[in-house]
Amino acid sequence: MDLLDVLVEKGLRREPPTREEALAVLATSDDDLLDVVAAAGRVRRQWFGRRVKLNYLVNLKSGLCPEDCSYCSQRLGSKAGILKYTWLKPEEAAEAAAAGVAGGAKRVCLVASGRGPTDRDIDRVSRTIEAVKDQNEGVEVCACLGLLSDGQAERLREAGADAYNHNLNTSESTYGEITTTHTYADRVDTVEKAHGAGLSACSGLIAGMGESDEDLVDVVFALRALDPDSVPVNFLIPFEGTPLAEEWNLTPQRALRILAMVRFVCPDVEVRLAGGREVHLRTLQPLALHLANSIFLGDYLTSEGQAGKADLEMIADAGFEVEGTDTPTLPRHRAEGAGVCGSVRDGEAAGCGGSAAGCGEDAAGCGHGPAGCGGHSGAGPAEEPVGQDAPAAAASPRTDLVAVRRRGAGTDLAPNA
């Protein structure tokens, strides 16, 4: 049976591919790209129909981070000219969140840079969660605050948080090359703490930092083993003033292959198209909607995104629809397995779970940067031996597409939502 037929059949049964099959997806040629997208699209539609969940980021505290994540514009020693400000007041964060909700966002992700929250920070964020929910009826709230200590996830849940985001970013074997101030194991521990507290766990990756195909497959299989409800896929935004400023490894075709591989490995999980999509997918963004069932609306943490109006037009023009607040995101079997309510809506399996919005970009505590961890770009031709690094494509740096956020949270200007 043809590789793609095998992958579709497995995806419809919620069975993961083998590691070799996942590597083979990344090694397909550009000539086969539309076939790969169509095959992964069948799996996406089986579990999520043509719905697209919208998520909105609010950067509660920007810059000034003591961690050294190489991809992050907020890192220790970063020379990127980003906005820097301390904690927003709860009412300011709620006002910022309202702009995203008005634009159609179902979930708001509250993000703060830093290694992890103090107990005082948890108190502050708890008040912010309450303010956001008081002013935005029915909104889901995800917190993304870095490494959690014992008991902090439970406190966030008690305050009304629905989810917690903390990304693995890249493979365990290469993690030390990207960050030295904390470990891969620290990140795994935080995701497990969120799970244990009953929060919807969200954890993803960053592609485009120079990693191999093996690294990408390793991190996605590690994510599957952690069983998050949501897997945000970020693509490195090479900010000037960061160690990875020269890493322009991705092509639109490579980015689509990565998304397809994630969908095959995580068939019934919310796959979120996150930071860097505008920079690396560019005009092929609509094709990514056949692979991912969730995106961020408007701007990211420290960089500008596509205009919210353009996002909504893209979704409609591609034949998809925005997921309503009364429609559960996850398939019923996942929601029930997680002990969350589920229902069948209009004949579709649906679940009450959700996905913590991946920070979409670079909060160091959030685990993904204005860029992403990984990706030996340049898709290898189909006949290239599976498992070997493909030569990087000659991608021309699109520095013109990297714009620092100057509006929204932390400014006096209206947000882009």
Q: Which one is catalytic: 124, 157, 187, 202? A: 202
Reported confidence tier of residue 83, pLDDT bands at 50, 70, 90: confident
Taking residues 129-158, what's their average pLDDT? 96
The helix (run of H) or strand (run of E) holding residue 58 is strand 51-61
282 is a domain residue: yes
With a CB cutoff of 8 Å and minimum separation 6, the contacts of 2 are none
CB-neighbour burial class of residue 413 (10 A; exposed 0-12, middle 13-18, buried 19+): exposed
31 is a domain residue: yes
DSSP 199-235: PEEE--EEE-SS--HHHHHHHHHHHHHH--SEEEEEE
- Known active-site residue 142: yes
Q: Which one is catalytic: 72, 144, 266, 359? A: 72
- Known active-site residue 202: yes
- Known active-site residue 65: yes
pTM attached to this predicted model: 0.87
DSSP 314-343: HHHHTT-EEPPTTS-SS-HHHHHHTT--EE
400 is a domain residue: no
Reported confidence tier of residue 338, pLDDT bands at 50, 70, 90: low
For 362-393, the pLDDT digits (tens) are 433 343 333 332 333 333 333 333 334 444 45
For 181-238, the pLDDT digits (tens) are 999 999 999 999 999 999 999 999 999 999 999 999 999 999 999 999 999 999 999 9
Q: Which one is catalytic: 44, 51, 65, 124? A: 65
With a CB cutoff of 8 Å and minimum separation 6, the contacts of 18 are none
As a whole-number percent, the residues of the chain with pLDDT over 70 amount to 85
402 is a domain residue: no
C-alpha to C-alpha distances, 274 to 203, 232, 339, nearest whole angstrom = 12, 6, 27
- Residue 283 tokens read as 């005009």
The helix (run of H) or strand (run of E) holding residue 265 is helix 252-265
- Known active-site residue 366: no
Return the SS3 of 164. Answer: strand
- Known active-site residue 109: yes
344 is a domain residue: no
Total tally of structural domains belonging to the chain: 1
Q: Which one is catalytic: 51, 75, 107, 109? A: 109
340 is a domain residue: no
Asked if residue 140 has pLDDT above 70, the reply is yes
Q: Which one is catalytic: 51, 69, 254, 277? A: 69
For 150-172, the pLDDT digits (tens) are 999 999 999 999 999 999 999 99
392 is a domain residue: no
397 is a domain residue: no
Contact yes or no for 301/360 (Cβ under 8 A) = yes
Q: Which one is catalytic: 124, 142, 334, 405? A: 142
Q: Domain limits at 82?
A: 3-328+359-383
CATH number reported for the structural domain that contains residue 55 in this entry: 3.20.20.70
Q: Which one is catalytic: 263, 272, 277, 405? A: 272
Direct distance between the N- and C-terminal alpha carbons of the chain, in angstroms, rounded to an integer: 45
